[in-house]
């Protein structure tokens, strides 16, 4: 990593290395609100600043990452996670860099050259000159540097495709997720297929970070979140909704109208239905991925008693009560411990 690529995460947040975890969190929340794209629509500078703030917080809020960042500076990503030594190395081969000054090197390659006694390291006769390199196999590296270490491709600054991938969250309305849509993400449009659900990941090829050495781009992974809907909810793969009916409709049965994603349909309410019982509308639910088919829509029936009735209604309800033969609580007489 060149010196110009180094990002001072403390400066980005306006803090010093002595800042506490609570101070870091407090400042991050303030800056994230200030530069959030929703607060600065169309402002590219604010968007870039927002990304910097998030990147800085991701590192400094993680105790392990912060420790490595404080110790190794611009080389913290390239140093393994085994407590300042070589990743995967045995205890006997672990090197202690706790007092080492990495800032004397212009790049990680220069540090490696110095470590292996090659020309081009600080203080050598060829200092400041870059060697002409050829591709090396793992057998070209000294004993102990192959197993569990970076490997040659890491020494020439190249990243794996996985390291170039990006992740982001995308929020959709239920209608957008149901029908599919086009959403602007960053500087380009992304096609959202019909039938995605919260927690699904959408892979967008070639929209990740660019490796300046290989000109290879990683992928962008969008994690889907669907906004709550006032009427529809998910019941597994099916859609479910609640529809109220009156006591007389529950007793006598009825034909009622119910909304579906395709529009209003009529359903028959059987006489004597219980409150909470569900009726099934087959093929009226959520789109199945990569299919023309749909899941089902469940209609949960809720018997709702009227709060305000006129005098005639009250009279008839009193007559029903006086002549009723059905006792829904008759079984309670036999309940005991």
Is residue 333 domain-resident? no
Q: What mean pLDDT do residues 124-132 have?
A: 44
Assign residue 283 a region: left if phi > 0, alpha if psi is -120 to 50, beta otherwise?
left
Is residue 330 domain-resident? no
312-329 pLDDT, tens digit each: 999 999 999 999 999 999
Tell me, what's the pLDDT at 113? 61
Is residue 294 domain-resident? yes
Tell me, what's the pLDDT at 182? 93
Is residue 98 domain-resident? yes
The answer on 150 and 107 residing in a single domain is yes
Is residue 260 domain-resident? yes
Tell me, what's the pLDDT at 152? 35
Q: Which residue has the higher pLDDT, 256 or 123?
A: 256
The answer on 251 and 167 residing in a single domain is no
Tell me, what's the pLDDT at 231? 96
CA 200 to CA 212: how far, in whole Å? 31
Is residue 57 domain-resident? yes
Angle (deg, nearest 10), helices 44-60 and 63-72: 100
The answer on 219 and 117 residing in a single domain is no
> 3-class SS at 240?
strand
What token pair was written down for 40?
């600065």
The answer on 48 and 113 residing in a single domain is yes
Residue 81 binned pLDDT confidence (cut-offs 50, 70, 90) = very low
Is residue 150 domain-resident? yes
Assign residue 243 a region: left if phi > 0, alpha if psi is -120 to 50, beta otherwise?
beta
The answer on 20 and 130 residing in a single domain is yes
Choose one of 117, 133, 156: the last residue of a domain: 156
At 244, which CATH number? 2.60.260.20
Q: How many domains does the chain have?
A: 3
Choose one of 121, 156, 191: the last residue of a domain: 156
Is residue 301 domain-resident? yes
CA 284 to CA 202: how far, in whole Å? 24
The answer on 210 and 237 residing in a single domain is no
139-162 pLDDT, tens digit each: 333 333 333 333 333 334 444 556
272-298 pLDDT, tens digit each: 999 999 999 999 999 998 888 999 999
> 3-class SS at 48?
helix
> 3-class SS at 200?
coil
The answer on 60 and 132 residing in a single domain is yes
The answer on 268 and 214 residing in a single domain is no
Which range marks the domain in which residue 89 is found? 3-156
Choose one of 207, 226, 245: the last residue of a domain: 226
The C-alpha angle with vertex 306 and arms to 300 and 311, in degrees rounded to 5, equals 155
The answer on 183 and 67 residing in a single domain is no
Nearest residue to 281 via CA among 265, 269, 303: 265
- Please say whether the beta carbons of 239 and 178 come within 8 A: no
The share of the chain scoring above pLDDT 70, in percent, equals 73
The answer on 145 and 20 residing in a single domain is yes
At 131, which CATH number? 1.10.287.110
4-37 pLDDT, tens digit each: 467 889 989 999 989 999 999 888 888 988 888 8
The answer on 151 and 29 residing in a single domain is yes
The answer on 216 and 248 residing in a single domain is no
The share of the chain scoring above pLDDT 90, in percent, equals 46
pTM for the predicted model, two decimal places: 0.52
């Amino acid at each position: 990593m060149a010196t110009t690529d180094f990002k001072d995460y403390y400066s980005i947040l306006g803090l010093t290395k002595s800042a506490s975890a609570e101070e870091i969190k407090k400042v991050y929340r303030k800056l994230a609100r200030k530069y959030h794209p929703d607060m600065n629509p169309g402002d590219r500078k604010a968007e870039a600043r927002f990304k910097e703030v998030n990147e800085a917080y991701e590192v400094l809020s993680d105790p392990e990452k912060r420790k490595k960042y404080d110790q190794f500076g611009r080389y913290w990503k390239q140093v393994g996670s085994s407590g300042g030594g070589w990743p995967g190395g045995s205890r006997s081969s672990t090197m202690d860099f706790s007092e080492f000054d990495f800032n004397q090197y212009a790049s990680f390659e220069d540090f490696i050259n110095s470590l292996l006694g090659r020309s081009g390291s600080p203080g050598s006769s060829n200092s400041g000159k870059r060697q002409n390199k050829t591709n090396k196999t793992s057998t070209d590296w000294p004993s102990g540097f192959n197993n569990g270490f970076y490997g040659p491709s890491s020494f020439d600054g190249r990243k794996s495709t996985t390291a170039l991938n990006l992740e982001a969250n995308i929020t959709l309305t239920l209608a957008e997720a149901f029908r599919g849509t086009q959403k602007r993400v960053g500087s380009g449009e992304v096609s959202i297929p019909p039938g995605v659900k919260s927690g699904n990941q959408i892979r967008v090829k070639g929209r990740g970070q660019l490796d300046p050495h290989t000109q290879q781009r990683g992928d962008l992974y969008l994690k889907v979140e669907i906004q709550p809907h006032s009427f529809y909810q998910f019941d597994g793969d099916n859609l479910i909704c609640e529809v109220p009916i009156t006591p007389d409709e529950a007793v006598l049965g009825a034909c009622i109208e119910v909304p579906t994603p395709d529009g209003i349909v009529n359903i028959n309410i059987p006489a004597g239905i219980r409150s909470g019982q569900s009726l099934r509308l087959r093929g009226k639910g959520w789109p199945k991925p990569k299919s023309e088919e749909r899941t089902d829509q469940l209609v949960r029936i809720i018997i709702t008693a009227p709060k305000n009735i006129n005098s005639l209604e009250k009279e008839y309800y009193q007559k029903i009560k006086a002549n009723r033969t059905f006792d829904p609580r008759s079984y309670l007489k036999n309940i005991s411990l």
